[in-house]
Structure 1
Amino acid sequence: MKYYIGLDIGGTTIKYGLVDETGKILEKDAIKTSIKGEEILQNIEKIVKQFKTEQTITAIGVSAPGIVQQDGFMTTGGAIKDFFGINLKQEIEKRTGIITTVENDANAAAFAEQWQGNAVGFHNYYCMVIGTGIGGGLVINDQIYRGGHGMAGEFGMMSVMNVNNDQNLELNSLSFTGATVFGLLNYYNHHSGKPKLTDARVVYDLADKKDEVALASLDFFYTAIAKGIINLMVAVDPEIVLIGGGISVNPKFITGLRAKIADLKSRNSDVRDLTFAEVKPAKLHNDAGIIGAVYRAIQAN
């Protein structure tokens, strides 16, 4: 049996686990993500050192935010500014002595779903991860499609809503209108005139009580995501669309999103009669980054 270390580096926490070659997580834990790149690398070194005392490690798989090139070079690093412009693969290999593979976090989630999740048996699909912002992984003919510059799947950059056409056009993007924090919560907080909310579940609770601002917030949120998904459906024609991120476990979210997609589709004669892929939650949730990073490491080695 071969053993791997999976590292899922997020803006808030680093989730990590010891994974066998079948995809079973044998141990897992998490630590807070430092704002300093050097401290992150030191913590990774400690994690690897601990696991090396337990098993012989074949390879390390890393899921990281931002635009990641196939050779491990970080064109961007999401919220981790110290990762911009470094080769994360080389840095980790230098410190651990173990061959390492680095993958974009949304691509890792897509890999995980292909191996152990709801994309098993599908060859063309995309995985959209909804959180503070929005990321995505696009799979065509069983392979992650990376594009000419390694940034394919950055769905959050799509312009979907006319919020501000004078300046800061990123405010029209899917990440700024259809993400949980920048989209749903920001819309509610901007329009409610009440103390700011930090938990999207509260918006759903208020909507159940027919709070008008909460209902408008959800409608705006769903419209942004639905427009993005419809754009991708007509561009790529996937077999299935998987939604990851914490909000995807809420059945009200999936129900509301499906209803909005159906509504927009019914009002567009160009797509009204087309067959669209099913939209459903991803299966692996918080373990997707670890499992997907290891799957990528297994494929590469």
Structure 2
Amino acid sequence: MYIGIDVGGTTIKYGLLTTTGEVIEKQAIPTPKERNAFIDTLVDLVNQLAAKEDIQGIGISMPGIVRKDGYLLTAGSIKELDDCPLRDILLEKTDNKYPIVIENDANSVAYAEKWIGNAQGRDNYVCLVLGTGVGGGIVINGDIYRGAHGMAGEFGWMLIDKLPPQGNIESASANYRAAVVLGLCQQYNQLKLAENPNFEPINDARIIFDTEDSDPFAAFALKNFYRDVAITLLNLYVSFDPELILIGGAISTNPYFMERLRETVEHYSKRHNSIAYLIGKTIAPIKATYLQNDAGMIGAVYRLHQQINS
């Protein structure tokens, strides 16, 4: 039995998983923002679960830039964990009883899909995760490509167009254009606030989808959103030549979104002469991820499972 832990900016999901990736028990608690409190919370979770079952190891999914050795260069919105040797700390605090693997959250999704999801049997694919920001996992020749420092797959930092003339250019990045919250919701909120300064900003993209036919601001924001996600995907096509692109995040469970995204990608592919020539030859299909809420736990445990059985 394995312990799986999926750390998010607001919630930590954790549970027990079998050696075939089945989640047999899971719970969730708020994410502590202070470093010592966060570490103590993880140790407490491990002790609670280890008291119930014979544990073979611990797999942890984390936001941010995570080195293969479990060192966090960054930790997403949990700023107090930046530059943190988390794996070494946890090994010490658990008396080195269990092997521990710490993996980036989007890489964990990519691993999970290879194990028991829509990437089974695939050796070269890309996973794009759309949420508050844009994350990514790259699988090359059957294994995660993490780059020299663990930063590979930070697709949200890619620039799309229209750089501001001065200052921070991240406003033109995929995070602020193709993400669900920082992109779609934020652009919609800006449009609504320009019309009505008393508008209450939203963070729920479902409101925008539901009002597309009645609200011209929602329609405009969605049109731009689909375009920017599509352009991001075209850049991934030509950078990695994948056999499959998987879209993760809660929005990928919306069949209407997935179908319209495919149509938008096809539209812009045909307008790019070189890519248009390759349609039907090398341009890979786009699918939603099979696993959703449990993908982080499952993927981190899969890497652990590989390590133990190698």
TM-score (norm 1): 0.96
Where does residue 110 of structure 1 map in the other structure? 110
Where does residue 7 of structure 1 map in the other structure? 5
Contact kept, 8 Å, 1:8 with 1:16, in 2: the verdict is yes
Where does residue 196 of structure 2 map in the other structure? none
Of residues 199, 206, 209 in structure 1, which corresponds to 2:204? 199
Match of 1:18, SS state, is strand
Q: What 5-or-longer segments of structure 2 have no aligned partner?
A: 194-198
Where does residue 90 of structure 2 map in the other structure? 92
Residue 69, structure 1, aligned to residue 67, structure 2: yes
C-alpha deviations, 1:158-183, integer Å up to 9, x for none? Answer: 00132524221011110111101110
Q: What 5-or-longer segments of structure 1 have no aligned partner?
A: none
Distance 1:195 1:27 in 2: 38
Deviation at 1:198, TM superposition (A): 2.0
Residue 262, structure 1, aligned to residue 266, structure 2: yes
Distance 2:163 2:218 in 1: 18
Where does residue 167 of structure 1 map in the other structure? 167
**Where do residues 1-301 of structure 1 align in structure 2 (5 Å cutoff)?**
3-97=1-95, 98-162=98-162, 164-193=164-193, 194-207=199-212, 209-275=213-279, 276-301=283-308
Contact kept, 8 Å, 1:161 with 1:177, in 2: the verdict is no
Contact kept, 8 Å, 1:161 with 1:224, in 2: the verdict is no
Distance 1:83 1:297 in 2: 22
TM-score (norm 2): 0.94
Deviation at 1:266, TM superposition (A): 1.3
Match of 2:201, SS state, is coil
Match of 1:285, SS state, is coil
Deviation at 1:86, TM superposition (A): 1.1
Give the % identical residues. 43
AA at the equivalent of 2:228 = A
Deviation at 1:298, TM superposition (A): 1.1
- What is the Cα-based RMSD across aligned positions, in Å? 1.1
Distance 2:78 2:269 in 1: 38
Match of 1:57, SS state, is coil
Paired residue total: 298
Runs of 4+ in structure 1 deviating by more than 6 angstroms, as ranges, are none
Distance 1:148 1:39 in 2: 30
Contact kept, 8 Å, 1:130 with 1:244, in 2: the verdict is yes
